[in-house]
Amino acid sequence: MNWSGLETSAFAPIGLGARNIDDMLDQVAKAGFNTVRLPYSNQLLDSTTKPTSINFELNPKLKGLNGLGLLDYIVDGAAHRGLRIVLDRHRPTADAQSELWYTAKIPEERWIRDWTMLALRYRGNQAVVGADLSNEPHGAATWGDDNPATDWRLAAERAGNAILDVNPNWLIIVEGVQYVGGNTYWWGGNLSAAAQAPVRLSHPERLVYSAHDYGPEESGQSWLQAPDFPGNLPGVWRSRWAYLKQDGIAPVLVGEFGGRSIGSDAEGVWQRSLISFLEQGGFSYTYWVWNPDAWIGGLLVDDRGDLDQAKLGLLGPSQAPLLGPIEPAPGGSVSGRRL
């Protein structure tokens, strides 16, 4: 699942104002999730960034940590519980998402430099398994047209190969775009051109494509209002992203999906259909989102830590086992940094 907050101006996972971080991580593992996708911004990595919205009486071990120090704490805490971490560069700064992987404030050079810093920092740390290079390229982002300013496929190669040069063990997770010619889909969800113009990595076995998918509550897309809904959905998913796994081209991670309803309304029908499709096809996913979320609903329904048992029941059959705890380094933590 996803646990949001590090990408926001709070620079901390949501919920730490009311609960202890270790209790939260215990609950994640107990709920059956084995991987946490952690959205963050490049701004989090600045040495002067200080997390806020944390109750330090409940979280005394977090007091005084900067953003990167908090990220270290989460990584170590995940490792001790048998959880794995996917790092997701969700935004350049805490202000907003961007269409492209770079902005005037965070140029491509900084984006790649931050990724290689993280790859070096967690090299040899089995808890961190992958880099989701940039969240939801959309708008001006293209795929396979060789325009260096907009071709997301080429940018993913530049960043992915820079990471693999210093840490060849990470998965390089590449999302889709929004537009491929006249073919439109969700932000980050359109991988229809990836077979014809694949991402070329120095370690091709590390490539994982990733799509995001949402339902009627997010937007009234045409395929969600079609007369043959929901029977049309498997074909829609196959044409945009599922074919890559179904045809043995490359693994696919559905990095975000979620919704409030799992009932008989259109949103619930869509969500149950997608979960069934993922389970039957053996797709990996990270559900959006762990924390209570006013936009799309969360797995936690309140700050007390009450879980949406109906959603857990729906996801349970597709959950994979925990991957096992990682022994700490001599320095007292998995990363070798004392916390």
Give CA–CA dist 157/133, Å, rounded.
10
User: Cβ atoms within 10 A of the Cβ of 53, count?
Assistant: 16
What is the structure's pLDDT at 328? 59
Q: Return the structure tokens found at 334.
A: 């998995």
Residues ≥6 apart with Cβ < 8 Å to 196: 144
């060849």: which residue's tokens?
A: 168
Q: Do the strands 183-184 and 179-180 form a parallel or antiparallel pair, or are they unpaired?
A: antiparallel
pLDDT band at 333 (very low <50, low <70, confident <90, very high): low
**pLDDT digit string, tens, across residues 148-195:** 999 999 999 999 999 999 999 999 999 999 999 999 999 999 999 999
Q: What is the DSSP string of 233-280?
A: HHHHHIIIIIHHHHTTS--EEEEE---S--SSSHHHHHHHHHHHHHHH
Q: Which of 295, 283, 209, 203 is nearest to 258 (CA)?
A: 295
Give CA–CA dist 300/293, Å, rounded.
8
**Cβ–Cβ < 8 Å for 141, 100:** yes
User: Cβ atoms within 10 A of the Cβ of 214, count?
Assistant: 22
pLDDT band at 294 (very low <50, low <70, confident <90, very high): confident
Give CA–CA dist 3/12, Å, rounded.
10
Is pTM beyond 0.85? Reply is: yes
Q: Which of 224, 240, 133 is nearest to 190 (CA)?
A: 240
**Cβ–Cβ < 8 Å for 261, 267:** yes
What is the structure's pLDDT at 324? 84
């309140």: which residue's tokens?
A: 302
Q: Return the structure tokens found at 241.
A: 């992203």
Is the pLDDT reported for residue 337 higher than 50? no
Tell which CATH architecture fits domain 21-318. Alpha-Beta Barrel (3.20)
User: Cβ atoms within 10 A of the Cβ of 195, count?
Assistant: 12
Is the pLDDT reported for residue 230 higher than 80? yes
Which helix (H) or strand (E) is 79 found in, with range?
Answer: helix 67-80
Give CA–CA dist 256/211, Å, rounded.
7
Q: DSSP E strands: which ranges in the chain?
A: 35-41, 84-91, 128-132, 171-175, 179-180, 183-184, 207-212, 252-256, 284-285
**pLDDT digit string, tens, across residues 301-325:** 999 999 999 999 999 999 999 888 8
**Catalytic: which of 175, 218, 256, 267?**
256
Burial class (CB in 10 A: 0-12, 13-18, 19+), 282: exposed
Is the pLDDT reported for residue 336 higher than 50? no
Q: Return the structure tokens found at 258.
A: 């979620």
Mean pLDDT across 209-236: 96
Sign of CA dihedral 133, 9, 312, 233: negative
Angle between helices 152-166 and 108-121 (to 10 degrees): 30
> Coil, strand, or helix at residue 92?
coil
Mean pLDDT across 108-121: 98
| 134: amino acid identity, one letter | S
């590390």: which residue's tokens?
A: 206
**pLDDT digit string, tens, across residues 15-67:** 999 999 999 999 999 999 999 999 999 999 999 999 999 999 999 999 999 99
**Catalytic: which of 7, 136, 157, 217?**
136
Residue 136 designated active-site: yes
Ranges of each domain in the chain: 21-318
Is the pLDDT reported for residue 232 higher than 50? yes
